[in-house]
Amino acid sequence: MPVVMREIVVLSGKGGTGKTTLTGAFATLGKDAVLADADVDAANLHLILRPEVVAEEPFFGLRLPVVDRERCTSCGVCTQLCRFEAIQDGELDETACEGCAVCFHACSAGAVTLREALTGCVYEARTAFGPFVYAALGVGRENSGKLVARVKQRAREIAREQAKNLLVVDGPPGIGCPVIASVAGANLLLVVTEPTAAGWQDLERVLELARHFGVRAAVCVNKASLDEEIAGKIEHYCRQEGAAFLGRIPFAADVVKAVVAQSPVTERLAGPAAQAMRAVWERALDLV
Amino acid sequence: MIVAVVSGKGGTGKTTVAVNLALSLDREVQLLDCDVEEPNAHLLLRPEINTAEPVCLPVPVFQKERCTGCGRCIEVCAYNALVLLRDKVLILQELCHGCGGCLYFCPEEALVEGKKVLGTVERGRIGKIGFACGRLNVGEALAPPVIKALRRGADPALDTIVDCPPGASCPVVQSVRGVDFCLVVTEPTPFGRHDLEVVAEMLRMLKIPCGVIINRADLGDGGVRDFCKEQGIPVLAEIPFKKEIARSFAAGIPFIERFPGWQKKFQELWNAVEERVASSNARNCCA
């Protein structure tokens, strides 16, 4: 029988609610999972999974123009047409360029050529908890969505090769380009929120995103003991919205200590926070 | 002076710093919430919103009767946003970056410019703070055009605080473009340090001076301080972890209201930034 692969993507909307800490914990609990870090802007999961990199793949996500000064006649057409204000007097501002290549097509002197720009690197690694794929986006670069798509694609290939039936993805914050790329193909969005007005509001936007793309979402409240009242309201809100509620995880200074020790929480701790993470994970697995 | 509040890692306290700093100055300033995917500053500030303008991306609209099926538009589109189906060009708007290439190169003028709404920029005020925030529509991928519209509409004559999105890719670059100084808010954990390294590199590339604020300074290790020391990046403030600070953020209350002593600290922080900007300008002037 072919293995049916399931994909859980951990999201939050608001940053810093504990996506990576929880994904790290799930990694120790997930049976037969492939792990991936789709937060390519600020990847952190590798800091607690102690990966041993087995392969590196350069990622060319963008074609950037190169201006040949000898040929440039300073006609100014490229500057006039560039809607990203990225080219002026034959000088390219790489951080503004979105790689549209309009300057290349428009230059009648043939002074503009295109080069494939290295915008990131994809790492394939072994960990004690299963195979792991992560990436580093070149600083300030465009196209993080494309790199996220590549990370997920590679992780799926590994899952197929090794007959693993679960992919667990640590997602980026927000709701924009990299998040949309990480949501594609997911069976469940596991949304980690925190009991704050901001956490709640950002959760609402993530649930709206889940509806928009027709993906099932389930919610847990991390650091719940910092404000049980708001945590309770969020739980109530989720039930109203028809999103599965997976549980509350109490705040524990020990969790920060586990991060400092660069190891997954559930590997070191058996306290209430680790237990709650385990319960959240088991409920999430029931849903997929 | 324009000061941006950034952090590689999310949830380190950017909005807390930006809002409390703006309130502490107690004079006419502007606060721009550029975290358009998840704007939160209004939850703490509760400004009165006076205007809401849509932000649009210029996208092509196909006019069948003019098209000769030459395929030039498809050839020039770097995003594969145009597809030729028999005699019809299909436009995949969600892939379009609005570069205008297809419009410009179509020899038959079979493509005209239309608009697609990406989000909204809201402007308003609370007391002495001029407030603006961008909001990306759910399901839209492109945050940078919304950020650009938000920054463009700001008053250049006023001191400005920019609350940025997390990370270090294009939305952040767009948010910090042209600012005088960046305050990098981090937490003293390996995650915080790693993401600080990424942001510091981005700011070096963009040639923007920066200083660090360590939040929840007593929870974690010494990695962030070591990194700052190695790199010669000043640590301009440390905010301790206090349940009351966490709770006031949770309830949407700026913590200087509960800890008035911090108002002076934020004023001193602003002054320290001003001095650094002045001296770095002086250096650039001489060089």
Q: In the prediction, which pLDDT does A56 show?
A: 97
Q: Which residues in chain B touch residue A177, judged by CB atoms under 8 angstroms apart?
A: 141-143
d(CA B119, CA B140): 8
Query: Which chain B residues contact residue A139 at CB under 8 A?
Result: 168, 198, 201-202, 205
CA distance B168 to chain A (A): 5
Q: How far apart are CA B259 and CA B24, in angstroms?
A: 11
Q: Is the pLDDT of residue A94 over 50?
A: yes
Nearest to A208 by CA among B9, B38, B170: B38
B185 Cβ contact list (under 8 Å, min separation 6)? B5, B6, B7, B12, B13, B14, B17, B212, B213, B215
Q: How many alpha carbons lie under 13 Å from residue A64 in its C-beta half-sphere?
A: 18
Q: Which of A20, A202, A226 sits opposite B38 (nearest CB)?
A: A202
| C-alpha–C-alpha distance, residues A22 and A24, integer Å | 5
**Rounded average pLDDT over B223-228:** 97
pLDDT band for B144, please (50, 70, 90 cuts).
Answer: very high
Q: Would strands B2-6 and B160-163 be described as parallel, antiparallel, or unpaired?
A: parallel
Cβ atoms of residues B247 and B218 within 8 Å: no
Q: What is the pLDDT of residue A143?
A: 67
Instruction: List residues bridging with A64 in a β-sheet.
Output: A115
Size of interface A-B (CB pairs under 8 A): 190
How far is residue A244 from each of residues A190, A196, A216, A218, measured CA to CA in Å? Answer: 9, 19, 9, 5
What tens digit of pLDDT does each residue of B85-118 get?
A: 877 899 999 899 999 999 999 999 999 999 999 9
Instruction: Write phi, then psi, for A264 (nearest 5 degrees).
Output: -65, 140
- Give residues 258 to 287 of B whose Cβ lies within 8 Å of A: none
Question: B19, B73, B105, B138: best mutation site toward chain A, by most A Cβ within 10 Å?
Answer: B138
- Categorize the per-residue pLDDT at A267 as very low, low, confident or very high, splitting at 50, 70 and 90: confident
Are A84 and A98 within 8 A, CB to CB? yes
User: From residue A35, how far is each of A9, A154, A163, A247 by CA, in Å?
Assistant: 10, 11, 14, 22
pLDDT band at B84 (very low <50, low <70, confident <90, very high): confident
Phi, psi of B135 (to 5 degrees): -140, 115
* CA nearest neighbour of A38 among A140, A163, A154: A154
| Whole-complex ipTM | 0.93
**Which chain B residues are Cβ-neighbours of A179 within 8 angstroms?**
37
- Residue A39 and residue A214 in contact, taking contact as beta carbons nearer than 8 Å: no
Q: Averaged over A81-105, what is the pLDDT? A: 94
Average pLDDT over residues A53-63: 94
Would the pLDDT of B287 be above 50? no
pLDDT tens-place string over residues A152-180? 999 999 999 999 999 999 999 999 999 99
Token couple for B277: 């900007």
Residue B90 DSSP code = E
Chain B 121-140, residues with CB within 8 Å of chain A CB atoms: 136, 138-140
DSSP string computed for B134-166: EEEPTT----HHHHHHHHHTS-TTS-EEEEPPS
Measured between CA atoms, the residue of chain B closest to residue A97 is B170
Q: Which residues pair with B135 in a beta bridge?
A: B120
Looking up tokens 């060319």 gives A60
Provide the chain B residues 10-49 that lie in CB contact (below 8 A) with chain A.
10-12, 15, 35, 37-38, 40, 43
Amino acid (1-letter code) at residue A90: G
- What pLDDT, on a 0 to 100 scale, did the predictor assign at position A52? 98
- Cβ-nearest to B78 among A101, A202, A212: A101
State the pLDDT at residue B281: 81
Complete DSSP assignment for A4-18: PPEEEEEE-SSTTSS
- How confident is the model over B44-64, as a mean pLDDT? 96
A24: closest CA among A6, A40, A44?
A44
Distance CA A35, CA A27 (A): 7
Average confidence score pLDDT of chain B = 95
C-beta atoms of A44 and B139 within 8 A: no
Contact A95 B201 (CB under 8 A): no
Let me know: does B212 contact A279? Beta carbons within 8 Å.
no
Q: DSSP code of B255?
A: G
Average pLDDT, chain A: 93
Partners of residue A116 on adjacent β-strands = A63
Q: Are B55 and B121 in contact (CB under 8 A)?
A: yes
Give B183's strand partners.
Answer: B5, B211
Collect all residues with Cβ–Cβ distance below 8 Å to A164 and sequence separation of at least 6: A3, A5, A32, A33, A34, A130, A131, A158
Q: Is the pLDDT of residue A197 over 60?
A: yes
Chain A neighbors of B146, CB-CB under 8 A: none
8 Å CB contact of A205 and B38 = yes
Distances (CA, A) of A80 to A72, B30, B77: 15, 32, 18
Give a three-class secondary structure readout of B40-66.
CHHHHHCCEEEEEEEEEEEEEEECHHH
Tell if the CB–CB gap between B38 and A16 is shorter than 8 Å. Answer: no
**Percent of chain B's residues with pLDDT above 90:** 91
DSSP 3-state helix, strand, coil percentages of chain A (rounded to 5)? Answer: 40, 25, 35
Across the range A26-37, mean pLDDT stands at 90
Find out whether A248 and A227 touch, Cβ atoms under 8 Å: no
CA distances for A50 relative to A18, A22, A127, angstroms: 18, 16, 6
Question: Residue range B143-158: average pLDDT?
Answer: 96
Q: Could you tell me what percent of chain B has a pLDDT over 70?
A: 99
pLDDT digit string, tens, across residues B227-249: 999 999 999 999 999 989 999 99
Place of tokens 């969020």: A234
Question: What whole-number percentage of chain A has pLDDT above 90?
Answer: 83
- Which of B149, B178, B162 is closest to B33 using CA atoms? B162
For residue B95, the number of C-alpha atoms closer than 13 Å in the C-beta half-sphere is 13
Q: Report the candidate in A278, A261, A192 with the shortest Cα–Cα distance to residue A48.
A: A261
